A and B are shown apart, each in its own frame.
Chain A
Amino acid sequence: MSDYSRKFEALLPDVEKPARYSGGEWNTPDMNKRVRADMCFCFPDLYEIGMSNLGVQILYDIINCREDFRAERCFAPAPDLAELLKKNDIPLLSIETRKPLKDFAVVGFSIGFELLYTNVLYMLDLARIPFRACDRGEDMPILIAGGPCSVNPEPFAPFFDAVVCGEGEEVDLEILRTVADGKERGLSKAQILENLSRIEGTYVPSLKRTGYVVRKAVVKDFENAPYISRPLVPNIESVHDRATLELYRGCASGCRFCQAGFWYRPIRERSAKKCASLAKNMLESTGFDELSLCSLSTSDYTGLEQLENELSPYCRERGITMALPSLRISSFKPDMARDSRRSSLTFAPEAGSQRLRNVINKNVSEEEIDKIAVAFEAGYDSVKLYFMMGLPTETDEDIAGIADICRRLKSLYWEKRHKKGLNISVSCAVFIPKPCTPFQWEAQISLDEMKRRQAYLRGLLKGIKGVNFSWHGAETSVLEAALARGDRRLADVIEEAYKTGARFDSWSEHFKWDVWQAAFESRGLKAEQFTRARDLDEELPWDFIDPGVDKEYFKKERALAYKGVTTRNCREGCNGCGALKEGRCTIL
């Protein structure tokens, strides 16, 4: 424990949910071993969000399983603690040993969402670490970033010494080895960064030149890749408070708006046998009473039936609930209702009309939606539906289709059941064109248009009894789109926004659109410059990152979208996206 420990602990009685910061979770690894290098994993959101992040848990476990390295954690403190830290002159500390962040060899941020960018600066500020890599001397740790936002790291690149693009399981260890080696040999930071740039999947922004290409890091042997052996059990309820097992990586569906679906290719499955043993091990070491089988599209997992057969009796005997998120409607089976004790179903048709679903290649047909009737028969009284608004080529007719689906479900419900009535909750996000998708060139609809379409849909749904409508903030969607497809100029904007009060931007009570608008203006920019349509031959800020999938493939998919032609699921045959060069698709 550091010198700050006692002083820090004295603050805890005065903050909300002090167990966020106290540490001591079950399965905390040995923190006393002598190591060559240590790393603090930072998650730029609150404890209960960060503790549910699978990536952080996997990487934390992998590093701590090594004799010569140690990983600790730090989450964004809520504003009440931040204020007390500043008042009492205590820098931001790690949870486990309460060590100042700036005393670690490596500080790594997991960034999964564009609206967390200001929180990175919020944490650096509290840690007393200068924001810009160029302003940090030899005494400062190596700062790295990773996570899904590494698809386009340019907006935050100046804040980091290195960015891990792609999957961190192997790269993070290689980075620790390189840093430890550099320190032991007395190398300068510049020399260490030079060495880091040679690790596949590692982008060193200060070394970027014309022709610089970063290949995404991919775990080749997913079957035997390490998985969380002893998951930390959160002190307070986290948003996904359960054991989570990743069945496979990648996705065979090819939905054209979905970044994860392309970024995590090639598809790599873990065998059902391996999954079952990992699941049992996690449940036994944590005592969780819920297991979530997780992937981008669980119905596509080849071993699903075998895995269910193996785990169902095990879970039933022990009173453990098994959850299968991301299921396709067509693979819903009535016995799932009996096993799961749930009464609510969640499905994501994403668009209201068949035409638009073809455009986005979300291969859900009207007949499939009708299959929800099976769930009504099995006793479900509540359905949650996810849609997007502002998709390419969308018209009011497509939006009206959302209301049609709700009416259709209601009549199906009354055919099957005559009980309390069906509850439908419709959640509608705004389409964000994201890098590494066939829609990376698309425009986002304007703020006014978002509001008009939201009002239109709200009006249509108002007339249907039992329908609950919720939507995403229009302004946050503009910001998310701008940050997702921005370039390095946005680092200045992010810094200005933070300095003028932006943080926790994903929390509606903290989001300050006027601060962001002023921050863009202060650099002579506008958010709309980054949400406009891009030319197909325009150079894109993330072009230097090779995601495996070819740019030409994205163009081809985009052309098919405009023709309303779908692309088959990868399981029916290879579509030649290019990701194969990064390793075998295990479903082929």
Chain B
Amino acid sequence: MIALKYVKSGNMRFVSHIDLLRHASRILRRAGIPVRFSNGFNPHPLIFFSPPLGLGVASEAEYIAIDAPMAAAEALERFNLSAPAGLKATRAFDLKSNPNLQARIVAADYVYPYAYRDIDFSRFEITYLKKGEVVSEDAAAKILGATSEGGKLCLRLATGGVNLRPDRLLGALNGIYGEDAKVTDILKVRQFALEEGKLVLVDEILK
């Protein structure tokens, strides 16, 4: 089992998670990475992703775990030669078993295109469109932290079972800042899993 950390940016931001699954199996085929297949009537390649990234959001910290008998470093090199512009592996990890990132990841950091400012997130009403209807909710419980990252606003948001889509904060934040930022201006920079009650960087878990 190997895992690759990769960047999703540029045109690839517009490729949805479901289409990304198709892309991944084609990239691995082109790269000659010998992915193992599941047994059964409809065998499928044994590849596993970190939780879906929202359409339009760029990320520096996506993960894919691949069941293949190959050294992770070699897989990284091959992956990058066969991936379209906008997908680039940046770190490789050799693993003993499936890290099950989809289930374990509980939070992620997103950098927004606003100058960092002290905002009270203890109560934070957001409104967004859901299936054509305007929905309001207090997102405070799902905003786990706010910091400055290179002078920009960086928010730690709940991901997975309890989830907050980063684009759903845009309406409220654009209101505070008087700006018109779009989903494509958001960058995911790191992801966390929960280990013994503490948030741990995914990179640390895979090391």
Interface residue ranges, A against B (CB under 8 Å)? 9-10, 12-13, 17-19, 21-26, 233, 235-237, 241, 284-289, 318-319, 341
Give the residue of B11, B30, B86 whose beta carbon is less than 8 angstroms from that of A286: B30
Residues of chain A within 8 A (CB-CB) of B86 are 24
Residues of chain A within 8 A (CB-CB) of B48 are none
Known: A22-B14, A24-B11, A287-B29. A12 touches B41 (CB 8 A): no
State the total of A-B contacts with C-beta under 8 angstroms.
Answer: 70
Residues of chain B within 8 A (CB-CB) of A13 are 55-56, 182-184
Interface residue ranges, B against A (CB under 8 Å)? 10-16, 19, 22-23, 25-30, 37, 41-43, 55-56, 82, 84-86, 182-184
* A236, B15: Cβ atoms closer than 8 Å: yes
Report the minimal beta-carbon distance from A475 to chain B, rounded to whole angstroms: 30
What separation, in Å, do the CA atoms of A285 and B25 have in the docked complex?
13
List the A residue with the shortest CB-CB distance to B185.
Answer: A13
* A24, B85: Cβ atoms closer than 8 Å: yes
* A284, B183: Cβ atoms closer than 8 Å: no
What separation, in Å, do the CA atoms of A287 and B182 have in the docked complex?
33
* A287, B56: Cβ atoms closer than 8 Å: no
* B26, A288: Cβ atoms closer than 8 Å: yes
What separation, in Å, do the CA atoms of A289 and B28 have in the docked complex?
11
What separation, in Å, do the CA atoms of A9 and B183 have in the docked complex?
12
Sorted from nearest, which 4 A-B pairs have the closest CB atoms?
A: A287-B26, A24-B11, A287-B29, A18-B14
Report the minimal beta-carbon distance from A47 to chain B, rounded to whole angstroms: 12
* A286, B84: Cβ atoms closer than 8 Å: no
* B25, A289: Cβ atoms closer than 8 Å: yes
What separation, in Å, do the CA atoms of A165 and B184 have in the docked complex?
44
Report the minimal beta-carbon distance from B90 to chain A, rounded to whole angstroms: 19
* A12, B27: Cβ atoms closer than 8 Å: no
* A233, B12: Cβ atoms closer than 8 Å: no
Residues of chain B within 8 A (CB-CB) of A23 are 11
Report the minimal beta-carbon distance from B137 to chain A, rounded to whole angstroms: 21
Known: A17-B16, A237-B19. 9 other contacts (CB 8 A): A12-B14, A12-B56, A18-B55, A19-B19, A22-B13, A22-B15, A24-B86, A26-B84, A233-B26
Residues of chain A within 8 A (CB-CB) of B25 are 287, 289
Give the residue of B16, B56, B84, B184 whose beta carbon is less than 8 angstroms from that of A236: B16
Residues of chain B within 8 A (CB-CB) of A233 are 23, 26, 84
Known: A13-B182, A18-B56. A235 touches B14 (CB 8 A): yes
Residues of chain B within 8 A (CB-CB) of A26 are 26, 30, 84
B-side binding surface: helix, strand, loop or mixed? helix
Residues of chain B within 8 A (CB-CB) of A287 are 25-30, 82
What separation, in Å, do the CA atoms of A17 and B37 have in the docked complex?
29
List the B residue with the shortest CB-CB distance to A18.
Answer: B14
Residues of chain A within 8 A (CB-CB) of B37 are 319
Report the minimal beta-carbon distance from A248 to chain B, rounded to whole angstroms: 28
Residues of chain A within 8 A (CB-CB) of B41 are 341
List the A residue with the shortest CB-CB distance to B22.
Answer: A237
* B184, A9: Cβ atoms closer than 8 Å: yes
Report the minimal beta-carbon distance from B185 to chain A, rounded to whole angstroms: 9
List the A residue with the shortest CB-CB distance to B27.
Answer: A287
Residues of chain B within 8 A (CB-CB) of A21 are 14
What separation, in Å, do the CA atoms of A236 and B18 have in the docked complex?
9
* B15, A19: Cβ atoms closer than 8 Å: yes
What separation, in Å, do the CA atoms of A48 and B76 have in the docked complex?
30
List the B residue with the shortest CB-CB distance to A21.
Answer: B14
What separation, in Å, do the CA atoms of A447 and B60 have in the docked complex?
59
List the A residue with the shortest CB-CB distance to B24.
Answer: A287
Report the minimal beta-carbon distance from A291 to chain B, rounded to whole angstroms: 12
* B42, A341: Cβ atoms closer than 8 Å: yes
* B84, A285: Cβ atoms closer than 8 Å: no
List the A residue with the shortest CB-CB distance to B31.
Answer: A287
Known: A236-B19, A319-B37. A24 touches B30 (CB 8 A): no
Residues of chain A within 8 A (CB-CB) of B26 are 26, 233, 286-289
Report the minimal beta-carbon distance from A480 to chain B, rounded to whole angstroms: 32
* B16, A10: Cβ atoms closer than 8 Å: no
What separation, in Å, do the CA atoms of A573 and B27 have in the docked complex?
47
* B84, A24: Cβ atoms closer than 8 Å: yes
What separation, in Å, do the CA atoms of A319 and B37 have in the docked complex?
9
Residues of chain A within 8 A (CB-CB) of B29 are 287-289, 318
18 contacts between A and B (CB under 8 A): A10-B182, A12-B14, A19-B15, A19-B16, A22-B13, A23-B11, A24-B11, A24-B12, A24-B84, A24-B85, A24-B86, A25-B84, A26-B84, A286-B30, A287-B26, A287-B29, A289-B29, A341-B42
* B184, A285: Cβ atoms closer than 8 Å: no
Residues of chain B within 8 A (CB-CB) of A285 are 30
